[in-house]
Amino acid sequence: MTAMQTAFDIANAVRSGDLSAVEVTQYYLSQIEAREPEIHAFNEVTAQKALDCAAALDQRVQAGESVGALAGVPIAIKDNLCTKGTATTCSSKILEAWIAPYDATVVKRVAEAGAIAIGKTNLDEFAMGSSTENSAFGVTRNPVDTTRVPGGSSGGSAAAVAGGFAPISLGSDTGGSIRQPAAFCGVVGVKPTYGLVSRYGLVAFASSLDQVGPFARTVKDSALLLEVLAGHDPADATSIPQPAPSLVSHLDDGVQGLRVGLVSELMGEGIQPEVAAQVRASAEALAAAGAIVEEVSVPAVTYGLSAYYLIAPAEASSNLARFDGVRYGLRVDAPTTNEMMVATRTAGFGPEVKRRIMLGTYALSAGYYDAYYGRALKVRRLIHDDFARAYQQADVLITPTSPTVAFPFGAKGDNPLAMYLCDLYTIPTNLAGHPGMSVPFGTGADGLPVGVQVLAGTLDEVTMFKVGAALERAATAEAAKGAER
């Protein structure tokens, strides 16, 4: 066993009996034991539970039973996805002792596919942040450079894959929370079309934006995992009523004749020169592979950040009202009900969560709703319409995933606006509801990973993955040339 083995290869080896699920699980638990104190990717490592599941799966293999597409593959679960019998904390003190009574649909689906849940990963509290510095349980460090952030909010899930603690992991993406940490940690991260993957059992941040998706080392592994996650779920009213797409079978189709648009508005001011250079190099690589590459304009994306930081906090202020000290989670006793709720929320929520609740409550308040929240919804429509026009000119769009490579701890913590700007390139896709993925493509400043973002229209994951696979092949070939030099 090596940490570089793909989920695809592990599953094949377990199904054939060449590897046992217990052997695989023990290997990854040893990797966690060796480096987890330094990285802190996990809020909880469920070692014994994982070993028990692996032993049960090995018995099924020996009995000749079908054990699924992810047979014996360890998977890390973001700690805002309900996992029955395990703490689901959202990295918040208000849920520190809460044990989920049921499994999220995605947790159930990966288990049914034979994956072995190995632990719950750290995140920015309630998924609000871009660096995993907002967790109530300590920061997660980037395995590529432990002086740097892993991105956020799914920083623990990205770090678990990048650090070799699990071949695949689950994250959630509300404004870039899968794609940005994937870029910072040098792994693949995918935000599916809104509604393609069930949100049932995901602790809500902003319900019209949240989406669950995969992290993996390779495009093929991320496609394999998304095939397991996707598909209609009657328990989620926003779930699209159609089956999961077939993705793995199309990865080698190539990009000959595909129209690729380089979004001009996202290649200008504020981007590090090394990041811009790698994105342009990725466009050249796609052109060399037969794609037709040209610049495309999506004017309204420049308003995405402003619209998002009205819509998302407004939805968060509503969703987080349920954490009141009465129904579940932390309760701080006080003489009256109102005083108890205030004391509970004051003690239970961190500064960033409080900031966003206040922003959202203000935007929804009487006399300001139309001026702020209502106008933001109109801007969201403009963004959707501009993307629709862009997809008439191009089959996919490419942009940087983040304007910079991973930054040092504390570099943006005192400046919320600087932190929010980290999601400038990922947010518009959430507002439009379209799919997006980040694929590692070379390095930038200080030799740190750069992610190229591939965007596609609604439910066009197949084309997006074709382009992602082509970028991965080009990046691998370039790395091989560099090693020879």
Q: Are 439 and 451 in contact (CB under 8 A)?
A: yes
**What is the amino acid identity at position 13?**
A
Q: What is the DSSP string of 273-325?
A: HHHHHHHHHHHHHHHHTT-EEEEE--GGGGGHHHHHHHHHHHHHHHHGGG-SS
CA–CA dist 201, 223 (Å, integer): 22
CA–CA dist 397, 259 (Å, integer): 9
CA–CA dist 183, 438 (Å, integer): 6
CA–CA dist 346, 373 (Å, integer): 25
Q: Does the annotation mark 78 as catalytic?
A: yes
Q: What is the DSSP string of 149-172?
A: ---SSSHHHHHHHHTTS-SEEEEE
Q: Using CA of residue 373, residue 431, residue 81, residue 107, what is the dihedral sign?
A: positive
User: Of the listed 91, 169, 177, 402, which one is catalytic?
Assistant: 177
User: Of the listed 20, 130, 135, 153, which one is catalytic?
Assistant: 153
CA–CA dist 331, 197 (Å, integer): 33
**CA-closest candidate to residue 341, choices 361, 326, 353:** 326
How many CB atoms neighbour CB 44 within 10 A?
18
CA–CA dist 359, 308 (Å, integer): 12
Q: How many residues are there in the chain?
A: 485
CA–CA dist 309, 462 (Å, integer): 30
User: Of the listed 78, 220, 412, 466, which one is catalytic?
Assistant: 78
Residue 251's φ and ψ, nearest 5 degrees, are -65, -25
**CA-closest candidate to residue 17, choices 61, 69, 50:** 61
Q: Are 280 and 249 in contact (CB under 8 A)?
A: no
Tokens 């509300």 belong to residue:
174
Q: Does the annotation mark 131 as catalytic?
A: no
**What is the amino acid identity at position 424?**
L
Buried b (16+ CB within 10 A) or exposed e, 276-309: bebbebbbebbeebebebeebebebbebbbebbb
Would you name the residues annotated as active-site residues? Answer: 78, 153, 177
